[in-house]
Structure formats: structure tokens, C-alpha cells
């Protein structure tokens, strides 16, 4: 596998659906939201990280401004769920800016307004070890230890197992994020346990395996990964929505 494709994270809520974890669905301003809470008991039973998961699915007529408002409310909800009401928020854009589909986190960071009144926001893009020679986690951990934020907000491209979700939903969770989980190459997770501060992760599924589409896991092509033809515009548009929502949270 190409080293540049090692950092895609899993769309964890899909596992919740397959395991029939309890969840509730509702709608805000025309955006469908699915909410799943994995407590300690469920975490032990299903092997998924404990936390609150939200999946936002806009419809074809949802305006970017409307989606931004809904996403902003969801980010605030997870920040409160993490027990954070004030202080510093460190936005971390994961991924490789030189690979379009993996550039979501980097593009978000470019659009973040640092500072703020409700929360003091700072932002970094640690890139990938193939470029820096240092694992993303080690960079983030060092900055967290020095900067001491109240919360880390991590942004990354996600992998999905369902074609209809490709570029068509946003997932947020308080469980943190494990780079590489979506391509069976898990790395050190960014979460409360490893960073000693709460972590809220936001991602958009922009990559899918051939096996997920064909259902044939034995094919020589089953491990190949695909992205939408218009992935460049998807990354640009999704980054704008996420950054606008985060900027609104800090006001």
C-alpha cells in the first residue's frame, strides 16, 4: 500500500449500525442526525471506543450556511459532553496535503481563525511521518503537553464501507480518532487516554475500498481504494463548512 494512504480513519458509526447499537435519529434544519452513545458496557461488548457519535447527513437542497449552523451546534454539544466550557482549543488537521483526498484536515486548518472569545483557538497541521519523519501523534502530544489546551479538535478524512455515504456525511465523536484504522493500518489514537485531554474528532468519508462496492473480498482488486471523481471540490467545500463551524464556535 502506498505510504501516503496510511492515515485514513474508520467511519466508526458504521460499526455501530452493523452491531445494532442503540441510537436515535432526528432532524435539524433539514439535516438528518444519527446519535449513538457507546458507554463502558457497550464498549466492552462491541469493542468500539466509548463516546458519543453523531453522523450528519444533509439532503441535496441543504445550503452550506445551513449545514454550517447545524455542524456548529453539534460541535458545541460534543464540547459540552467532554466537560469543557472554556479555555484553549487546539485544532489538529491530520493527513497529507499532497494527496487531495487526504488533505481535508490541512485545508480546514488553513481556514481557521485563531484566537476567539468563547474559546481561544489555535491550529496545527502535523502532516504525515513520510514528510516530517515524525509521527503525527508525537507532534500533537508534544504540543498538547506544552500548550495545555482544554480540548483537542481533530479533523481527518474517513473511510466508509457504503457508497451512498461517500462525501455525503459528517461524523463527530468524543471517542477521538485512530489514523490508519480505515485501511487496516492503525496508529496511535488521539483520545483522552493518550493525550490526557478530551478529544473531539470530525471527519468526512471520502474513500472506499473496491471490496466494499463489489462485495468480493477475494478479488485481487479488493484492497484498492477509490475516491469520487470530484474529490478536489468535495475536500474544498467540506473544509469550508467545517472551518466555518469551528470559527463560529470560538466567537
User: Rounded to an integer, what distance in angstroms lies between the CA atom of residue 172 and that of residue 165?
Assistant: 14
pTM for this entry: 0.90
Q: How many CB atoms lie within 10 A of CB 117?
A: 7
Burial of residue 121 (CB within 10 Å: 0-12, 13-18, 19+) is buried
pLDDT top residue among 191 and 7: 191
Cβ atoms 173, 156 nearer than 8 A = no
Pairing of strands 151-160, 9-10: parallel
- pLDDT, tens only, 130-166: 788 898 999 999 999 999 999 999 999 998 888 888 9
Residue 186: pLDDT band by 50, 70, 90 thresholds?
A: low
pLDDT of residue 184: 56
Please give the biggest Cα pair distance in the chain: 54
SS3 88: strand
Task: Check pLDDT > 60 for residue 238.
Answer: yes
As a whole number, the mean pLDDT across the chain is 88
For 1-56, the pLDDT digits (tens) are 333 333 445 555 554 455 567 889 999 999 999 999 988 888 888 777 889 999 99
Tell me how many helices (H) and strands (E) the chain has. 9, 10
For residue range 55-68, list pLDDT tens digits in order: 999 999 999 999 99
CA distances from 156 to 103, 110, 122 (A): 8, 14, 17
DSSP state of 14: H
Whether 201 contacts 176, CB under 8 Å: yes
| Half-sphere exposure at residue 86, Cβ-oriented, CA atoms within 13 angstroms | 2
CB-CB neighbours of 59 under 10 Å: 11
Which sign, positive or negative, has the C-alpha torsion 184, 163, 76, 136? positive
Residue 195's pLDDT band (boundaries 50, 70, 90)?
Answer: very high
Cell of 210: 473496491
Assess contact for 156 and 177: CB atoms under 8 A: yes
For the stretch 174-177, contacts whose Cβ atoms lie closer than 8 Å and that sit 24 or more positions apart, written own/partner, are 174/51, 174/52, 174/78, 174/81, 174/82, 174/198, 174/199, 174/200, 175/12, 175/38, 175/48, 175/49, 175/50, 175/51, 175/52, 175/53, 175/201, 176/49, 176/51, 176/201, 177/9, 177/94, 177/201, 177/203
**In angstroms, rounded to a whole number, what is the distance separating the alpha carbons of residues 246 and 251?**
9
Amino acid at each position: 500500500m502506498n505510504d501516503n494512504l496510511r492515515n485514513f480513519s474508520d467511519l466508526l458509526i458504521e460499526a455501530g449500525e452493523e452491531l445494532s447499537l442503540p441510537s436515535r435519529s432526528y432532524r435539524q434544519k433539514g439535516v438528518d442526525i444519527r446519535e449513538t452513545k457507546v458507554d463502558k458496557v457497550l464498549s466492552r461488548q462491541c469493542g468500539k471506543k466509548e463516546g458519543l457519535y453523531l453522523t450528519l447527513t444533509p439532503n441535496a437542497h441543504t445550503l452550506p450556511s445551513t449545514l454550517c449552523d447545524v455542524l456548529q451546534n453539534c460541535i458545541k454539544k460534543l464540547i459540552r459532553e467532554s466537560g469543557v466550557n472554556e479555555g484553549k482549543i487546539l485544532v489538529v488537521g491530520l493527513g497529507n496535503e499532497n494527496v487531495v483526498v487526504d488533505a481535508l484536515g490541512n485545508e480546514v486548518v488553513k481556514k481557521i481563525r485563531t484566537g476567539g472569545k468563547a474559546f481561544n483557538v489555535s491550529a496545527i497541521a502535523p502532516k504525515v511521518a513520510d514528510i516530517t519523519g515524525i509521527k503525527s501523534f508525537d507532534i500533537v502530544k508534544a504540543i498538547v503537553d506544552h500548550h495545555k489546551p482544554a480540548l483537542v479538535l481533530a479533523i481527518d478524512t474517513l473511510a466508509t464501507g457504503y457508497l451512498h455515504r461517500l462525501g455525503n456525511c459528517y461524523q463527530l465523536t468524543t471517542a477521538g480518532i485512530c489514523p490508519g484504522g480505515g485501511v487496516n493500518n492503525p496508529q496511535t489514537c488521539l483520545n483522552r487516554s493518550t493525550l490526557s485531554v478530551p478529544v473531539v474528532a470530525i471527519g468526512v468519508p471520502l474513500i472506499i475500498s473496491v471490496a466494499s462496492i463489489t462485495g468480493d473480498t477475494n478479488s485481487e482488486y479488493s484492497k484498492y481504494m477509490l475516491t469520487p471523481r470530484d474529490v478536489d471540490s468535495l475536500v474544498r467545500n467540506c473544509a469550508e463548512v467545517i472551518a466555518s463551524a469551528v470559527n463560529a464556535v470560538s466567537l
